[in-house]
């Protein structure tokens, strides 16, 4: 397993980024109130492995509260959520989580092969899966 470089983008291509990640090392789905609503499927990297290629003024952001450390970024033009920046001590601190569906060039076969780790964000128990995952 080794990291590869991917380009990601929103639907209209106004938000573009580059990320270096080993997708076979794992992706994640979470049951927190936000992730459950958007059916999040993502992969986390350290901030140094992520580079925004487009201008920041095309991004909107959302956090559960104004004080939220974890911020979800989306394209102001087409509305597609592309990544999250945040901090979770149990997961190694600062992170960028890119939405799998925004990565360009992944075939259906590759997507189907990606391992998924389940996170129990609803209970702030990031290291253990929730009891039920079939709806995520």
Contact 45, 60 (CB under 8 A): no
Phi-psi region of 131 (alpha: psi -120 to 50; beta: other; left: phi over 0): alpha
Contact 6, 73 (CB under 8 A): no
Tell whether pTM > 0.75.
Answer: yes
Phi-psi region of 36 (alpha: psi -120 to 50; beta: other; left: phi over 0): alpha
Instruction: Give the per-residue pLDDT at 105.
Output: 95
N- to C-terminal Cα separation, the chain: 26
Tens place of pLDDT per residue across the chain (136 aa)? 689 999 999 999 999 999 999 999 999 998 888 988 999 999 999 999 999 999 999 999 999 888 888 999 999 999 999 999 999 888 889 999 999 999 999 999 999 999 999 988 888 887 888 888 878 7
Q: Tell how strand 116-119 and strand 27-30 pair up.
A: parallel
Residue 54 tokens read as 């487009």
CATH architecture of 4-123: Beta Complex (2.170)
Per-domain residue ranges of the chain: 4-123
Contact 107, 14 (CB under 8 A): no
Instruction: Give the per-residue pLDDT at 57.
Output: 96
């Amino acid at each position: 397993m080794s990291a590869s470089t991917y380009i990601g983008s929103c639907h209209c291509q106004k938000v573009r980024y580059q990320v270096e990640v080993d997708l076979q090392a794992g992706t994640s789905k979470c049951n927190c109130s936000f992730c459950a609503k958007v059916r999040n499927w993502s992969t986390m990297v350290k901030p140094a492995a992520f580079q925004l290629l487009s201008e920041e003024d095309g991004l909107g952001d959302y956090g559960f509260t104004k004080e939220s450390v974890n911020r979800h970024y989306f394209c102001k033009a087409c509305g597609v959520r592309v990544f999250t920046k945040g901090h979770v001590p149990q997961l190694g601190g600062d992170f960028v989580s890119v939405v799998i569906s925004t990565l360009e060039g992944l075939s259906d076969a590759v997507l189907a092969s990606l391992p998924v780790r389940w996170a129990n964000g609803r209970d702030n128990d990031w290291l253990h899966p929730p009891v039920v995952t079939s709806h995520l």
